[in-house]
């Protein structure tokens, strides 16, 4: 899909489909009114006949073979054309265009609800993500794809907005890459395969690449990571990527849980509980994908991307409930529940970042069902030890259109994780599960500024409860927030 900026009026734009955003209560104004006049008022009449009121994602479609646009689509944007509403509008438009086999699509979003740069970026993201589908295992079928999206930017210069298009395209590529990684089946996306993808990302993005194998991880003291890995026949891979721009004075570490399949170990999950466990590496997928976009976004800080990749299986060597292991940070952990494995691999990743002397650590993990119960399927939980860092992440998520909500970390959450026979235990029951897991991780961050995103809910989409630019399967949650945050970091 190619994006083009044009300053042509909407009613004079030649295209297969022209999509126009309409606010509530559905009256046609501005460019929509101009297009309506060009088609003899039929667009407004049809909207009235269909009871169109501009509610979000609702549409009216007019076939107009005599006009410059063969199809005209009205898309509801609600009360205000915010960047998120425009992201949704663009996704609705390109998905409808694909159904109509429309190759050239024109979008006229205006800039009433945001700056021209934010508007363009949102529309590029919505269009680029809205057409995503994971179909590589389907028999090849003939189908039409949208080849070109024209962004009509009356009143704004093309040269000034071209960088916003490039940033949007880089964000789309990274998010789609993360979705692909999550959607691959576990027999394909093994730890070794994930390491291979990371190597490709490093080569393309000018990153340094390193994989720590199991023997070296054990020798370094990564007992928690090794304990999770020991029940699988697949060799684990502790993946490290590094982005080092000239003149960088600060270092931010990204750590993503990379459990490529989670059976629960000896504390085995139910059959239904394993259904989407190929996606238990969504945190690592977000980190690897985001690392590949840093050069395109001219990020000015050094970034260390850490993805501890392993399976959690039930082989004869699998770790047992009651076993005690020592992590890279020196603390001992009693493994009460082998299905609380994500915090173990992340603990060693966080300790690795601390040893590297980073200034901040941001981790992402499909960590707890408790967070889904608390916040639902579309919202990630945010916890950490540094409020300014958390505030910046909340702001970045708001700009990215990813829902993120801060949860508390009271002292009693850590108290619950203290062990009777070891420094810590890896589980303390269901109550406050997301917060207790975060408190466990915080012990390995120490005094380093640290933020934890529990993405168990929004990392994988089912049904129609997600925005139209998110299709079923892996969502790539976290990539856009990370890129927003890192692009603004100094």
Model confidence pLDDT, tens digit, residues 200-252: 999 999 999 999 999 999 999 999 999 999 999 999 999 999 999 999 999 99
Q: Same domain, yes or no, for 195 and 305?
A: yes
- pLDDT value for 143: 64
The HSE-up count of residue 142 (CA atoms within 13 Å, CB side) is: 1
Q: Write out the residue range of the structural domain in which residue 241 sits.
A: 171-488
Q: Same domain, yes or no, for 99 and 179?
A: no
Over residues 87-111, mean pLDDT? 95
Q: Same domain, yes or no, for 140 and 219?
A: no
Distance separating alpha carbons of residues 35 and 37, to the nearest angstrom: 5
The DSSP H or E segment spanning 262 is: strand 258-262
Burial readout 60-79 (b: 16 or more C-beta within 10 A, e: otherwise) = bbbebeebbbbbbbbbbbbe
Q: Count structural domains, the chain.
A: 2
Q: Are 152 and 107 in contact (CB under 8 A)?
A: yes
Model confidence pLDDT, tens digit, residues 313-330: 999 999 999 999 999 989
**CA 285 to the chain's CA centroid:** 9
- pLDDT value for 157: 80
Q: Same domain, yes or no, for 249 and 329?
A: yes
Q: Look-up: residue for tokens 């890192």?
A: 486
Residue 173, φ and ψ in degrees, nearest 5: -60, -45
Active site residues: 269, 343
Over residues 430-454, mean pLDDT? 97
**CA 31 to the chain's CA centroid:** 33
The enclosing domain of 303 has a CATH number of: 3.40.630.10
Task: Count the Cβ atoms, other than its own, within 10 Å of residue 254.
Answer: 30
Q: Same domain, yes or no, for 129 and 210?
A: no
The enclosing domain of 94 has a CATH number of: 3.40.220.10
Distance separating alpha carbons of residues 112 and 428, to the nearest angstrom: 50
115 within some domain: yes
Q: Same domain, yes or no, for 295 and 419?
A: yes
Distance separating alpha carbons of residues 328 and 485, to the nearest angstrom: 28
Over residues 29-35, mean pLDDT? 93
Confidence of residue 112 (pLDDT cuts 50, 70, 90): low
400 within some domain: yes
Q: Same domain, yes or no, for 134 and 203?
A: no
Q: Same domain, yes or no, for 177 and 132?
A: no
276 within some domain: yes
Q: What is the DSSP letter of 270?
A: P
Look over the chain and give the mean of its residue pLDDT values, rounded to a whole number.
96
The two three-digit tokens of residue 404, written as one number: 């993120």
Q: Are 185 and 278 in contact (CB under 8 A)?
A: yes
Q: Same domain, yes or no, for 460 and 434?
A: yes
Q: Are 360 and 389 in contact (CB under 8 A)?
A: yes
Confidence of residue 124 (pLDDT cuts 50, 70, 90): very high
- The rounded percent of the chain whose pLDDT value lies above 70 is 98
């Amino acid at each position: 899909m190619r994006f083009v900026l044009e300053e042509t009026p909407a009613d004079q734009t030649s295209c297969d489909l022209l999509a126009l955003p309409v606010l509530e209560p559905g009256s046609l104004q501005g460019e929509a009114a101009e297009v309506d006049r060009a088609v003899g008022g039929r667009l407004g009449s049809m909207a009235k006949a269909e009871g169109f009121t501009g509610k979000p994602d609702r549409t009216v479609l007019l076939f107009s073979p005599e006009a410059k646009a063969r199809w005209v689509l009205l898309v509801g944007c609600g009360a205000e054309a915010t960047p998120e509403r425009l992201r949704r509008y663009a996704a609705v438009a390109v998905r409808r265009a694909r159904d109509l086999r429309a190759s050239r699509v024109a979008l006229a979003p205006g800039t009433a609800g945001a700056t021209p740069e934010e508007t363009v970026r949102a529309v590029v993201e919505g269009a680029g993500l809205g057409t995503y589908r994971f179909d590589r295992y389907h028999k090849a079928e003939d189908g039409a794809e949208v080849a070109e999206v024209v962004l009509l930017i009356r009143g704004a210069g093309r040269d000034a907005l071209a960088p916003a298009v490039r940033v949007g395209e880089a964000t789309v590529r990274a998010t789609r890459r993360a979705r692909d990684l999550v959607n691959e089946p576990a027999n394909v996306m093994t730890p070794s395969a994930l390491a291979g993808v990371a190597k490709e990302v490093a080569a393309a993005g000018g990153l340094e690449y390193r994989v720590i194998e199991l023997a070296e991880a054990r020798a370094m003291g990564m007992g928690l990571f090794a304990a999770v890995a020991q029940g699988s026949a697949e060799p684990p891979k502790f993946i490290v990527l590094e982005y080092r721009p000239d003149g960088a004075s600060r270092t931010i570490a990204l750590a993503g849980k990379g459990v490529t399949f989670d059976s629960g170990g000896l504390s085995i999950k139910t059959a239904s509980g394993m259904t989407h466990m190929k996606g238990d590496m969504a945190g690592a997928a977000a980190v690897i994908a985001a690392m590949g976009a840093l050069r395109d976004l001219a990020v000015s800080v050094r970034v260390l991307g850490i993805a501890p990749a392993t399976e959690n299986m039930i082989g004869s060597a699998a770790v047992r409930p009651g076993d005690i292991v020592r992590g890279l940070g020196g603390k001992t952990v009693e493994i009460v529940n082998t299905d609380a494995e994500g915090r173990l691999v992340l603990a060693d990743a966080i300790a690795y970042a601390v040893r590297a002397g980073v200034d901040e650590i941001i981790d992402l993990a499909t960590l707890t069902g408790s967070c889904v119960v608390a916040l639902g399927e579309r919202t990630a939980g945010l916890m950490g030890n540094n409020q300014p860092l958390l505030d910046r992440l909340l702001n970045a998520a708001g700009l990215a259109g990813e829902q993120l909500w801060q949860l508390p970390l009271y002292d009693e959450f850590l108290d619950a994780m203290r062990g009777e026979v070891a420094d810590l235990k890896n589980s303390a029951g269901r109550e406050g599960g997301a917060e207790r897991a975060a408190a466990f991780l915080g012990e390995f961050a120490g005094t380093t500024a640290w933020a934890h995103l529990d993405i168990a809910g929004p990392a994988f989409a089912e049904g129609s409860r997600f925005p139209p630019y998110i299709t079923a399967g892996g969502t790539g949650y976290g990539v856009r927030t990370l890129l927003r945050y890192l692009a603004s970091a100094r």
